Structure 1
């Protein structure tokens, strides 16, 4: 069985069309059909059923489809490891991440890292925490950086860094008078919050319920940029980790006000890898760089508290 046949089959599964798969691979449709026939001969079973609507996988085809993509990704990974043995500092790193905080963590890290290693290439996929962890387990991602991640098996947490959510407001807002703000005081202000599918929003709803408070946010959105703009305009306050709006805080546009007492919301950022997969030079070096960056953030927060 040739690798090319698996590549053609994987593209056919992805596009569900002989014509589209052929166009994407820059080959004739007959070449796709011939390679599928080779696979069917190799496995001794039909893999696809052809119709005017496209192709439909057989039971055997479903089994192969579930494994072909990972097999091809692992072969690409082996190629990268072989290049590393040759001393070449080139390569590609796939990172999956979730949450607005993660986006703001990764952007400065990758920007600085790329200046040091200009030959490396990166792809960053922002998705849910569960999908990010699944991507590491299925070899789609080299590294996952997750926020509010569920407990999942099969993934190694390289580093866990705790973060707290603060009240984010403009310096002109009445809340700016507080060094620490009581949770009950939040009911006096127009709140902008993420929609209920976000892990943070669920934690915040539970906190309000525990305190016996009614939660009635004026604005609900799935966009971090929308939350920031609403706060910057003075129309609302929100709750986010200070890291999320670090640039605006440094510019004097926003303030991060801790919640008083022990009623705050805390979560963790996890830096995750697959426990049984050797990373390439590019991925290993980036992993170390992210870990150092996260530790420095943790240390700086500890110093400020002290």
Structure 2
């Protein structure tokens, strides 16, 4: 099974459609079906079953897709290592981040890096902090940038910085007149927060309980940073975010930050990490070193 066949079965698993797989792979549906038939013949069992809506994996197909993912990464890594030996400066790097807030922090860094290294492609995957660390440790991704992450001996912390989450709101909001805010000030306010799988929400709930309040549902529950910012700009909600994720809106006068009082602070660490044992490709090393310098320069 070569890399092209692995990529084909992976795409078929993602899309559930022979036609869509054909379009994305630059092949005809007949060619995709022929490749699938060859793969099923090689394994001696059906890998997909046809449904009115397309195709879905059989149990055997799920095994092949799961196992072939690591094979694809190893083949891609091998190709990058050979390119490196040949003096070629190209490749692909994958980064797992937990939460949209980190994505917004990374956006200017990745944009600048891409201008310096146009031959390196970058994939950014948003997941939970634990899933990001698992992906790094098992070789499913090259780097992780996380907040509210547990200690994990399988990874190396390359860069770390403290991050505070503060109330973010419209300059027209009544609380914007305050110099600082406490957790109790936000009780009864309409908030836009991510769900409780996110560390910031769990910390906010813990602060509420510490001050004698029972956590309740937020007016808006969403992990979409853009939706949160839009609600805040309209005066419909107060957010709890790192200031750097909304610095552009603050500079434009659309939003303001009012710090928490010392007793109400929500603090965590932003970590840039990589695997303790796995080899780093040229592309991964370049991005790792660049992110370390960028974060230290702009936020350190």
TM-score, structure 1 length as denominator?
0.80
**What is the distance in 2 between the residues matched to 1:108 and 1:18?**
35
CA 1:243 to 1:78, structure 2 compared with 1: closer, same or farther past 3 Å?
same
Q: Report the equivalent of 1:108.
A: 108
Q: Structure 1: which 5+ runs fail to align? A: 41-45, 300-306
Number of residues of Structure 1 aligned to a counterpart in Structure 2? 290
Match of 2:258 in 1: 257
Is contact 1:143-1:271 (8 Å) kept? Answer: yes
Q: Which has the larger radius of gyration?
A: 1
Q: Is the 8 A contact 1:21 1:32 kept in 2?
A: no
Aligned partners of 2:199, 2:161: CA distance in 1, in Å?
17
| 2:297 pairs with 1:296 | yes
Matched residue, 1:190:
190
1:32 to 10, 33, 36: 36
- Alpha-carbon spacing, 1:212–1:70, altered in 2? closer, same or farther (3 Å): same
Contact in 1 for aligned 2:10/2:65 (Cα 8 Å): no
User: Is the alpha carbon distance of 1:281 and 1:212 closer, same or farther for their aligned partners in structure 2, counting shifts above 3 Å?
Assistant: same
Tell me what 2:240 maps to.
Answer: 239
- 3-state SS in 1 of match to 2:264: coil
Deviations 1:10-66 (A, max 9, x none): 54983698966984764363443334434x4xxxxx5547766666345xx766554
Structure 2: any 5+ residue segments left out of the alignment? none
Does the 8 Å contact 1:192/1:217 carry over to 2? no
Instruction: Check conservation: 1:155, 1:272, Cα contact below 8 A.
Output: yes
Kindly state the Cα deviation for residue 117 of structure 1 after the two structures are TM-superposed: 1.6
CA shift, 1:90, in A, is: 1.6
* Structure 2 CA distance for partners of 1:179 and 1:16, relative to 1, 3 Å: closer
Change in CA separation of 1:188 and 1:28 when aligned onto 2, cut-off 3 Å: closer
Give the Cα–Cα distance (whole angstroms) in 2 for the partners of residues 30 and 288 of structure 1. Answer: 44
Give the 3 Å change call, closer, same or farther, for CA 241–50 of structure 1 in structure 2.
closer
Change (3 A) 1:231 1:277: same
2:70 maps to 70
Number of the residue aligned with 1:302: none
Matches of 2:58 and 2:217 in 1, distance apart? 47
Pick closer, same or farther for the CA change 1:213–1:153 going to 2, 3 Å: same
The yes-or-no answer on 1:224 pairing with 2:225 is yes
Q: For the structure 1 residues 20 and 188, does the alpha-carbon distance in structure 2 shift closer, same or farther, using more than 3 Å as the test?
A: closer
Change (3 A) 1:50 1:78: closer
- d(CA) in 1 for partners of 2:21, 2:219: 47
Using the TM superposition, give the Cα deviation of residue 161 of structure 1 relative to its aligned residue in structure 2, in angstroms.
2.0
**Contact 1:165/1:265, CA 8 A, preserved across alignment:** yes
Supply the distance in 2 between the matched residues of 1:5 and 1:253 (Cα, whole angstroms).
Answer: 48
Q: CA deviation at 1:6?
A: 6.6
TM-score, normalised with respect to structure 2: 0.82
Matched with 1:56 is 58
Q: Does 1:279 align with 2:258?
A: no
